[in-house]
Chain A
Amino acid sequence: MEILGTVIGVAVKSLIFIVGMFLASAYLTLIERKFAGHVQQRPGPLHVGFHGILQPIADALKVLTKEDIVPANVDRVLFYMASLLAFVPVIMILAVIPFGEPFTVFGLEIKPYITDLNVGLILALAFGSISIYGVIFAGWASNSKYPMIGGLRKAAVLIGYEVALGFAMVGPLMMAGSFSLREIVAAQDGFFGAFIWYQPIAFIVILFAILAETGRTPFDVQEAEAELVSGYNTEYSGMKFGLFPLAEWYIGTFVLSAIAVILFFGGWKGPEIFGPLSPFVWFFLKVGMMFMFFLWVHWTLPRYRVDQITEIAWKVMLPLSLLNIFITAFIILIKG
């Protein structure tokens, strides 16, 4: 019976996380559209509900009821599988992200995370990079030129930036002395304890890597709509199409922002001015700010050429992150 209880507990918690993330990502699309609109001096969605507050629901209904076209010469198995391959790993990152310390409600201890592995960060990195297969296989299975080019570009970009991202994360890890995301947060004390003050280089590298990994603008070569119709998801339609941007642009950016916040901005720590909900409010405030920053960059910058992107990855970002490891190690060695 005990096993059954554990299984049900984990399943319910996972379900809450996944459904919550789905709803959140629906509203992240609204945030993005409003933001993009106002950057271009237009109001964005306005008429469905108050200032478009019901627009995500309308969009979801539209996408779900759309005709689902599968082109004749695609590889059907992979074609269906690719959209899930892109979507599932990204949402699996949620399994290792802690949203706060355990707290007690009505005598029941609730842990706002699914697992607290001591290799959480590596696992997040691993899941994040598995989603690359969704893009490549989507490109391959579509049996068409533009998706193919888009998928290969995404692969080339991701290979470079995964390496830079992994090495850049080593800096904060060395300061915290643990892979566990909870312990990394615990290692950051007070306003000036946040790792952003000690690891600016790593932060910049991680910003670039997250932009590249989620395919946001300076690095959105995989779906460069000016060159490759819509990149790897050109042949998709209906909800299969909807899953790709949902996974990449919204859930991906959100969870990676959460990881960046945990690594550099002290996670859920902050002055207790919101009462008992304070950690959650701080965490989501920080993640929201981070997300908005990515939106800001996305709707500002033009696109890099693909060779420039890989050049930046290997020639600038990787040496920078290695330099950061070296400096951090040196300082830790001196200070003891």
Chain B
Amino acid sequence: MDLNLIAFWSLSTIAVLSALGVVFFRNIIYAVLSLISTLIAISGLFFNLGAELIGALQILIYAVAIVVFYVLVISTVPKYEGEAIDLKYSLLSTPFAFILFMELAYVSVYGLWVSGTGVFGPAMLNQVSNVKAVATMLFTKYLFPFEVASVILLVAMIGAIVLGKKDIVED
């Protein structure tokens, strides 16, 4: 039995189970906890696939930097136990879920054909490290989208500062 295979099946089981937990837990803090668990399991899958950089960034950015703000907000509200299934929201979210699913399916199927081609094939990746490959692609081919994304983030940051900066009224 292949060790990678064991790792893949156990990690993906954890990921799927905790993703179900995110949806079905009534206690909101458990939902967040299962979200963290999902994200970490997915990062484990990335490690399993040999994409250490993405795996590490997955933990650092998704599992910590983003979710910690969810946790901050959620843990300050009083204990709230909502309904696990709300018909209105279920119906409302169905088309979005469908679109999202189609998109992911398209990307996955598309990835089947193009992965392993291009400059950084498996042979090349053995020579240069993962980090170098990502950096090279990011700063050559995808430089423009990268810069646009950074500008968008900058705008968002400035907007947040402007919104958050309230004048304190002094009588």
Contact = CB atoms under 8 A, between A and B. Distances in A.
Given A118-B129, A118-B131, A133 B56 contact: no
Given A118-B129, A179-B131, A152 B53 contact: no
Given A6-B3, A119-B130, A119-B131, A126 B72 contact: no
Nearest to A163: B65
A328 interface: no
A183 B131 CA distance: 14
B3 A129 contact: no
A125 B29 CA distance: 24
B149 interface: no
Nearest to B40: A130
Nearest to A151: B75
Contact of A122 (B60, B63, B69): B60
Given A78-B29, A118-B52, A129 B64 contact: yes
B71 A125 contact: no
A132 B64 contact: yes
B93 interface: no
Given A118-B130, A118-B131, A152-B75, A136 B53 contact: no
Given A6-B3, A127-B59, A140-B75, A122 B68 contact: no
B130 A136 contact: no
B41 interface: no
B33 interface: yes
Interface string A156-194: 101100100010000000000011100000000000000
Interface in B91-149: 129-131
Contacts of B75: 136, 139-140, 148, 151-152
B139 to A, nearest CB: 13
A31 interface: no
A226 interface: no
Contacts, number: 80
Contact of A126 (B60, B68, B69, B130): B60
Given A78-B33, A122-B53, A127-B59, A133 B71 contact: yes
Interface string B54-77: 011101100111001101100110
B3 A130 contact: no
B87 interface: no
Nearest to B129: A118
Nearest to B56: A122
A129 B130 contact: no
B42 interface: no
Given A139-B75, A140-B75, A148-B75, A159 B59 contact: no
A15 B63 CA distance: 26
A140 B60 contact: no
A78 B74 CA distance: 15
Contacts of A125: 60
B125 to A, nearest CB: 11
A117 interface: yes
B22 interface: no
A316 B53 CA distance: 29
B129 A136 contact: no
A162 B2 CA distance: 37
B71 A155 contact: yes
B33 A126 contact: no
B160 interface: no
Contacts of A78: 29-30, 33
Contacts of B71: 133, 136-137, 155
Interface in B14-59: 29-30, 33, 36, 40, 52-53, 55-57, 59
B60 A129 contact: yes
Nearest to B131: A179
A136 B71 CA distance: 8
A39 interface: no
B52 A117 contact: yes
Most buried by A among B1, B53, B57, B60: B60
B1 A140 contact: no
B68 A159 contact: yes
Interface of A: 3, 6-7, 75, 77-78, 117-119, 122-123, 125-127, 129-130, 132-133, 136-137, 139-140, 148, 151-152, 155-156, 158-159, 162, 166, 178-180
Task: Give 10 closest A-B pairs by Cβ, nearest first.
Answer: A126-B59, A122-B56, A126-B60, A129-B64, A118-B129, A140-B75, A119-B52, A123-B56, A119-B56, A3-B3
